[in-house]
Every structure is written in structure tokens, then in C-alpha cells.
A and B are shown apart, each in its own frame.
Chain A
Amino acid sequence: MLYQLKNIEHRYGARLVLKLETLSVKRGEALALVGPSGAGKSTLLRLLNFLEAPTAGEIVFDGETITPEAPLSVVRRITTVFQRPILLNRSVRANVVYGLELRGLRDEARVAAALQQVGLQEFANAPAHKLSGGEQQRAALARALALKPEVLLLDEPTANLDPYNVNLIEQIVREQNQTQGATVVLVTHNLFQAKRLASRTGLLLNGELIELASTEDFFNAPQDPRTAAFVQGKMVW
């Protein structure tokens, strides 16, 4: 197991936003987390990237218990692509180079490969903020790919994008997972996307993990009536 989360609670002030008894993420798997807005999916990703420390509980990453703050060396094995790409006010290329510079690396080939992978090599010198929404998200993905992360966390990476960009990003994510061996945790509202990309899928509801199963079982033979209602689009929240 790459991650083991035990008795996790996370609060913002008095509000409990996440309560997980246990959650394991296997090395090299593609795990999708679905659920309505406000279910705690993005919060869980922030905990998995060690951007926030849980209010209570324990996270074991690659055999090492992380408390309370993860060392930088651990954080740098993981990265997140957020729903809204937050790019630096620089060229596309400078954005892709940024993460490598932080690590003291200069690897032109890696930068070029990442840009080519997302189809932005022609826009390398363009200001990142001049790109379209889909191109910006691809630039954010290239920035993550250049780091060759062991864990790629994706928070609604294709929300509001056109089918071309959705398809391209899904192809890249699949390739990262299946060819490069990256562990992928994907938060999505798109159930079809979860079906296409994930080997396991979990439902989060009000901060709790309701069900986690193989993607096939999750969609075809859900054990919890709430999962059944959610996958059939009948859940009202």
C-alpha cells in the first residue's frame, strides 16, 4: 500500500468536513473518488498531497507515518492538478520549468517532452494567461508531468472543458498510470470518466467514505443503497 489513512478527521473551525475510518491507496492504481459537491473530495486530495495536516488521525505514506507536517522530500513525490489551473504569470515553458527549478534540476528534454505530450510545444513561449481554458489546463498538466510524480492527484481536471481537451487529458492520465506507473487519485463529478480511467472507485458523502470497490463492482453491483442511488443519478442532496 502506498497510502494508509486511519481514523482521519479534518475540521475547518468547528465544521467536520472529513471523517474516514480507513482508506488505502495501492501503489500504481488509478482510484476515482466521486460524490456530490461539498462531500470532502478536494479536502481528501489536499491531505493526500500533504498540503494540510488532518485534525486527527494518521496517514502512512510508503511505510512512513507522516505527522504532523510532511517533509519536503515526501511532498515532492506527489503533485496535484487542480480544477482551475493556477498558472504563474510567465510563459508556458517557464511554468513547466518551475517545479524542476524548485528541485534544482535543469532538464530541457523533460520539459520539451511534457510540452509535446500535452500538445503545447508551439505555445512554449506564449504567456500562460493568454491560453484558452483547455490549453491552460493542459499547461498545468504538463507542469505536473515534467516532475514525473509518483502520485498524480487530479481534482476535477476536465471540468468545463470541451471533448477534445477531455479526451487528450484522459489519454495522458491513462498513460501516466499504465505506462509510467504513477499512482493516480482522481476526483470527478463525471461518472463516465471514473469508469474510463479508474480501477477502483469510491463514493464520498458528507465527508464519509460510503463505499470503495473495483470500478466494475461500484457501478454494476453497488453494495450500499446510497451508491446505487448516486450512480443511477437518483441521489438528491
Chain B
Amino acid sequence: MNRAELLTFHVLRSGMEAFFSITLLSLSVSGLALLIASGLGFPLGAWLALYPVPAKRLWELLVFTGMGLPPVVVGLAVYLLLSRSGPLGGLGWLFTPPAMITAQVIIALPMVIGLTQSAIESLDPNLRLQLRALGASPPQIVMTLMIEARGGILAAIIAAFGSIISEVGAVMLVGGNIEGQTRVLTTAIVLETRQGNFELALALGAVLLSLTFLINFGLTKLSQPR
């Protein structure tokens, strides 16, 4: 192998490494954000759907408003919170993955809450009574209703995941698109497009689409009736 070939091999290998690290970071940031948003959003959605919550209409209005929040505004708010002079500046999270996860949780949470609530409310209202008549305890009732509403809850997960994995404004603002640290698929696509590397930008876009397809396929399989 001559010097030119060695150099080409080295460039290709380092390119592939960067490519995998970007994909892995995208998946881990959005995956963790989705996990946190689901952990918070499922119980909150069920609470709104099943219990006489005080000021329920106001909460619903806030959730629906949150579902339409522009990601770049979320990014700006998180940026201000985490910046050195901000109230959470002491955490030192700005331009790190935790800042990106925080922003994505804020984007995904209203979607998970609102769609979970809607999925549970769309069930037969007499189902709760039937479950109780079969001897279900209150936690067992909530769990069963969530399983019964799995189609709608899956839609919540898919919608939330789709919105955060494809989101660019917030992660760009709070992550800074730092190579090897906070560069994810969407921010890399923006960068490569600006630099005129359209083939690479398209390849990254194809990876993003494939990942989204595979994850949605897996989630849909999971929701099939037993």
C-alpha cells in the first residue's frame, strides 16, 4: 500500500468512526430523552385521564400548547437556563449531551402526556367498572387500561421519538454541534449541507430515516395483541 492509499484508508476509517459516533450519540440522546419523557408522561397522562384533577382544563390547555412548542424556542429557554449566568448554570451542562437530553425531554413530554391521556380516554368508559368487578386493585386497573390503550400510547411514543430524533434547532443551540461531543445526525446534516457535501448529507439523512423506520417497526410489533 503506497502513501496515497494509506492516507485514503485512514480518511475513510476516521470518517466511518465519526459516522458511527454521530449515529450512536443521536440514538442515545433521543432514546434517553424518550425514556425520561415516557417515565414522566405515562403516569401524568393516565392521571389526567382517570382522576378528577383540579383545574383539569387548564392542565390540558398547557399540554396541548406544549405539543406545539417550536423546538428552537425550547432550545433558547434551555440555553438561557443552563448558560453560565442562568439559574442552572452551575450544572455545567451547556454544550454537553445532558443539555440536549433536557431540551428533547421538554419537547417530547407534552406529546407523551397528551396522547397517553387521549388514548386512555378513548377506551370504553365501562371498562374500569368491569376491571373492578373482576377484582382489580386501583394500580392494576391503571396498568390494564394502559395496556389496553397500547395502540394510542405507541402512537405517543412514535410521535415523540419522531419529533426529537429529527429535531435540529434545540440540539444545535444547547449542544453546539461539537464534533465528537455533541454532533448528532440532524446537526451533521445541516453542517454537511452548508459545506456543500451533499452526498454525505444525503447519506446521513438516509441513516436517520432508516433508524426511524426500524424503531417504529419494532414498536409497532410490540403493540400487537397478545
Contacts and interface: CB of A to CB of B under 8 A. Distances in A.
Nearest to B150: A89
Contact of B135 (A46, A75, A86, A90): A75
A75 B132 contact: yes
B136 interface: yes
A127 B127 CA distance: 17
A98 B148 contact: no
Q: Kindly name the residue among B130, B135, B226 whose own CB sees the greatest number of chain A CB atoms within 10 A.
A: B135
Contacts, number: 52
A147 B133 contact: no
18 contacts: A46-B129, A49-B132, A51-B132, A75-B133, A79-B133, A79-B134, A82-B129, A86-B124, A86-B126, A88-B148, A89-B148, A91-B226, A98-B144, A102-B134, A102-B137, A127-B225, A144-B134, A153-B133
Given A82-B133, A86-B126, A89-B148, 17 more contacts: A46-B129, A51-B129, A51-B133, A72-B137, A75-B135, A78-B133, A79-B134, A80-B133, A82-B126, A86-B124, A86-B127, A99-B135, A102-B134, A102-B135, A102-B136, A102-B140, A153-B133
Given A84-B126, A102-B140, A89 B134 contact: no
Contacts of A153: 133
A38 to B, nearest CB: 17
B24 to A, nearest CB: 36
A50 B164 CA distance: 45
Among all A-B residue pairs, the 6 with the closest Cβ atoms: A76-B135, A80-B133, A86-B130, A99-B134, A102-B135, A102-B136
A185 interface: no
A10 B225 CA distance: 39
Contacts of B130: 80, 82, 86
A82 B135 CA distance: 15
Nearest to A83: B126
Interface string A187-208: 0000000000000000000000
Contacts of A15: none
A94 interface: yes
A88 B144 CA distance: 9
A224 to B, nearest CB: 31
A90 B132 contact: no
Contacts of A99: 134-135
Interface string B110-132: 00000000000000101101101
B222 to A, nearest CB: 14
B114 to A, nearest CB: 22
Nearest to A80: B133
Nearest to A99: B134
Contacts of A102: 134-137, 140
B126 A143 contact: no
A143 B133 CA distance: 11
B10 to A, nearest CB: 56
A153 B130 CA distance: 12
Interface string B98-110: 0000000000000
Contacts of A84: 126
Contacts of B133: 49, 51, 75, 78-80, 82, 153
A46 B136 CA distance: 15
A94 B140 contact: no
Nearest to B151: A89
Contacts of B127: 86
A194 to B, nearest CB: 22
Contacts of A127: 225
Interface string B136-161: 11001000100010000000000000
A195 to B, nearest CB: 26
